[in-house]
Amino acid sequence: MKRVGYIRVSSKDQNLERQLDGMKAIGIEEKDIYIDKQSGKDFDRVGYQYMLKGLREGDILHIHSLDRFGRNYNDIIAEWNNLTKVLKVDIKVLDMDLLDTTKHKDLLGNFISDLVLQVLSFVAHKERDSIKQRQKEGITALRARNNGKGIGRPSIEVSKDFTAAYKQWKANEVTAVRAMELSGLSKATFYRKVKEYETAQKQG
């Protein structure tokens, strides 16, 4: 049995220390903690997929809260069932004791856990919809102030996490997948930033 932790924040500049401290407080080693710095709209995340490949039957996955797991109702339910019923991995949601599959193994326990899971998944999904709606309204308002002109695609700055991961990758100290995980970037964004970074280095 292996105990692992999964941490997610929605963007690179969000602080993940609270989740990290929570994992360490229950005795999970840092090498067994997987991190993503991207949206929870689906499970196509570098850190999550990297973690998934290493999970085995009987392992326990720890998550700070359900919204850190995901934001899409159907995806959360499907992935939860894949982990618990197909891979036979237990899950502990640290801020919701009812969502602890190591404790609730009887019929009533499973019923309560499934009910709570569906309610919280729905809440997480609705919150994501609300965020998207607020973003849409913000963009519409900004375009109105700019006389209908587009606001353009914001550039992604090169972070310290990316620079460190890039150097380790170029020195063959880590794989590309691990570098993506360390920098909190998707595959497409990582390679785009590599190109931008290397171009800037040549020009500098």
Token digits of residue 19 = 């989740």
Nearest to 35 by CA among 60, 12, 67: 12
How crowded is residue 119: how many other Cβ atoms within 10 Å of its Cβ? 11
Q: Identify the three-state secondary structure at position 122.
A: helix
Query: Which single residue is written with the structure tokens 């019929």?
Result: 107
Annotated catalytic, 130?
Answer: no
| Cα 99 to the center of its chain, rounded Å | 19
**What's the first-to-final CA gap in the chain, in angstroms?**
50
Write the Ramachandran bin of 80: left for phi over 0, alpha for psi from -120 to 50, otherwise beta: alpha
CA-nearest of 66, 58, 71, 10 to 37 is: 10
List, by residue number, the catalytic residues. 10
